[in-house]
Structure 1
Amino acid sequence: MAEQENPIKQGKSDVVRAARLSVAPMMDWTDRHCRYLHRFLSQEALLYTEMVTAPALVRGGALHLLDHSPEEHPVALQLGGSEPTELARAAELGSAAGYDEINLNCGCPSDRVQSGAFGAILMQSPDLVAEAVAAMRAKVGVEVTVKCRIGVDTQEPREILPVFLEKIRAAGCQRVTIHARKAWLKGLSPKENRDVPPLDYDLVHAMKAAFPDLHISLNGGIDTLDTALDHLERGLDGVMVGRAAYHQPTDILAAADVRVFGAGAVRDPFDVVMQMLPYIESQMAQGARLHQITRHMLGLFAGRPGARAWRRVLSEGASRPGAGPELLLQALAQVQQLPQSAFSAS
């Protein structure tokens, strides 16, 4: 198969600028194949790994979890953990692996995370979070950031969140992403915690007013690029998009470089598919299965004529023995080509 021109710029970028729009860390979703795809759609947005636990790196030696492609930059490593010394060592490993930022997870509500005393439960221990941030900053030269909720369980967000932000700011954290929902550690499943607790965007905007020196990004429920731009225009420093960026990546990312960053060009998903082919071929030569990559591509044409057929061809065929990159061309034939304006209107 002929090599396609790779338009992805290599090398590290200004991670603070990139944080104006980011794709959230999502377990089982934002792996390296997903990030590579997203980077074709936006050269500017900040990408995050799935959460990697500090014990897995430090005690388990699972350094393969740090694997990523140079083309993914700017890319941040999200760590889960609660022991400052261990987190500092994990941050060192992440920095040595080349990540542009180390992010501490203080927002995940899963039972597994709670049992390890990290994730959202850390909202109850701001002093420990501050100690961990300071320990990590002492060991790495890249920025250490925090992703948190507005509170957990019976905490009053308007009381606890300012205290939490003050503590981590004093420890040297200069950037924080706030998921504008509480996490209910008792009574709601992780899935329910993504939807049931009400969003409080006004509180996040109030925190920006109270902490003007902090770079504050908003996360939670953002499902269009227009909505993201609205929050940026209202004064927030960044917006982090989660599920919408995964399920409708073209809608969120294809026009982001132009509309959010004032750079680059609007990307056509047809071109993105063609540019992914050499990567798929290379990864399969190293032992990857086709479906491990194409599962992240199912939403590329969401809302466009032929999108259902695109998904069906990939879903039914990618796991079959012998399936290769040519399957994407078969799937692509099911999709109706749209004018470029269709991808810039999202």
Structure 2
Amino acid sequence: MTRNQGNSAAYQCSRLSIAPMMDWTDRHCRYLHRLMSRHTLLYTEMVTAPAIIHGDVERLLGFDPAEHPIALQLGGSDPDQLAQATRVGCDFGYGEVNLNVGCPSDRVQSGRFGACLMLEPTLVADCVQAMQEASTGAKITVKCRIGVDDQIPAEILPEFLETVSARGIVSFTIHARMAWLDGLSPKENRDIPPLDYELVHRMKAEFPQLEIILNGGIADLDTALEHINRGLDGAMIGRAAYHTPTDILCTADRRVFEQGTDSTAEDAVAQMLPYIENHLSKGGRLNQITRHMLGLFSGRAGARQWRRTLSEQAHKTGAGPEVVELALSHLTEVAA
């Protein structure tokens, strides 16, 4: 099972990262995003520790080495299980293992992990200590909320950071919304509670030794850079990076990391074709990949035809790279 280890130095500070998103940031999505930005940190979907211990680890954790830098996000609240899962993640070559303390879904709450762990900072500290001790080189990090339910964020968030960082954890990605565990759906939890960016900035001022990364409601690179330039260590973008990846990722290396040159959606599509052929040769289906490509040309002439062609034809039996080439031809025709 042991794989080539990722370069842990690449994970010391993530100025820009793409949020872990269930059913979205799978290996095909990450491969596409990596073609658009060499330096942006990518995350897996959240994977529970028990699933890794008892499930098909290759299916759950396998990835292409080209996806580095890549982080594994774990869900769980049992220190021993999280330690086992961390060891497996390290064996697979993940350079970072992140503990989810932010997801508000009912399913996650029933398993006593995710955002409900904001109520148990000592347990979170025990978990990350076990993960740290089990790690063979991966950076251990935490993604959390500013609070849940009736908690007062300005009071509990500094206590949470102090308690958890006392175990040697130095990197926190903070979703700047409260999570309402009772009464709001996961979708509503993404929009209804107000964002409190200023609290996250105050946490950086209060804990300058910690790496503080902002998450929640960031829709473009300009906003991300505003927060970074104000003193935060990084920004994490979620839905905007998925639905309009070209706007976020194609200029990220130059603008955020000050390395490399801009990429294009057309180049990403061209480079995806061999990857698609390889996936199909192993029995995969075209739409498993192209569903992540629908937003590549968002806002451009021909984008509707691009999306329609992929949506209507990629799911068909025998569909192959020619469907992607046909979809791309609609854009080139418009350009001509």
Matched residues in 2 for 1:168 and 1:45: separation? 26
Residue 211 of structure 2 corresponds to 215
Q: Which runs of 5+ in 2 are unaligned?
A: none
Residue from 298, 302, 305 that aligns with 2:298: 302
Q: TM-score, normalized by length of structure 2? A: 0.96
Q: Kindly indicate whether residue 85 of structure 2 is the aligned counterpart of residue 71 of structure 1.
A: no
Residue 101 of structure 2 corresponds to 106
Question: Structure 1: which 4+ aligned runs deviate by more than 4 Å?
Answer: 336-339
Residue 259 of structure 2 corresponds to 263
Residue from 115, 122, 125 that aligns with 2:117: 122
Indicate conservation of the 8 Å contact 2:6/2:93, yes or no: no
How far apart are residue 225 of structure 1 and its match?
Answer: 0.7
Q: In structure 2, do the counterparts of structure 1 residues 211 and 11 end up closer, same or farther at CA, with 3 Å as the change threshold?
A: closer
Q: Kindly indicate whether residue 129 of structure 2 is the aligned counterpart of residue 138 of structure 1.
A: no
2:141 match: secondary structure: strand
1:147 match: secondary structure: strand
Q: Which runs of 5+ in 1 are unaligned?
A: 1-9, 340-346
Q: In structure 2, do the counterparts of structure 1 residues 35 and 273 end up closer, same or farther at CA, with 3 Å as the change threshold?
A: same
Indicate conservation of the 8 Å contact 1:232/1:238, yes or no: yes
Q: TM-score, normalized by length of structure 1? A: 0.93
Indicate conservation of the 8 Å contact 1:224/1:244, yes or no: yes
Q: What is the count of residue pairs matched by the alignment?
A: 330
* Residue identity matched to 1:150: I
Matched residues in 1 for 2:22 and 2:334: separation? 32
Matched residues in 2 for 1:60 and 1:41: separation? 32
Indicate conservation of the 8 Å contact 2:104/2:179, yes or no: yes
1:334 match: secondary structure: helix
Indicate conservation of the 8 Å contact 1:24/1:242, yes or no: yes
Q: Kindly indicate whether residue 40 of structure 2 is the aligned counterpart of residue 45 of structure 1.
A: yes
CA RMSD of aligned residues (A): 1.5
Residue from 165, 174, 180 that aligns with 1:184: 180
Matched residues in 2 for 1:131 and 1:160: separation? 18
Q: Kindly indicate whether residue 314 of structure 2 is the aligned counterpart of residue 315 of structure 1.
A: no
* Residue identity matched to 1:83: D
Indicate conservation of the 8 Å contact 1:106/1:147, yes or no: yes
* Residue identity matched to 1:196: I
Deviations 1:183-228 (A, max 9, x none): 0000000010011110000000000000000000000000011111
Residue 344 of structure 1 corresponds to none
Deviations 1:20-65 (A, max 9, x none): 1000000000000000000000000000000000011113354420
Q: Kindly indicate whether residue 247 of structure 2 is the aligned counterpart of residue 251 of structure 1.
A: yes
Residue 147 of structure 1 corresponds to 143
Matched residues in 2 for 1:18 and 1:307: separation? 35
Indicate conservation of the 8 Å contact 1:305/1:336, yes or no: no
How far apart are residue 16 of structure 1 and its match?
Answer: 3.4
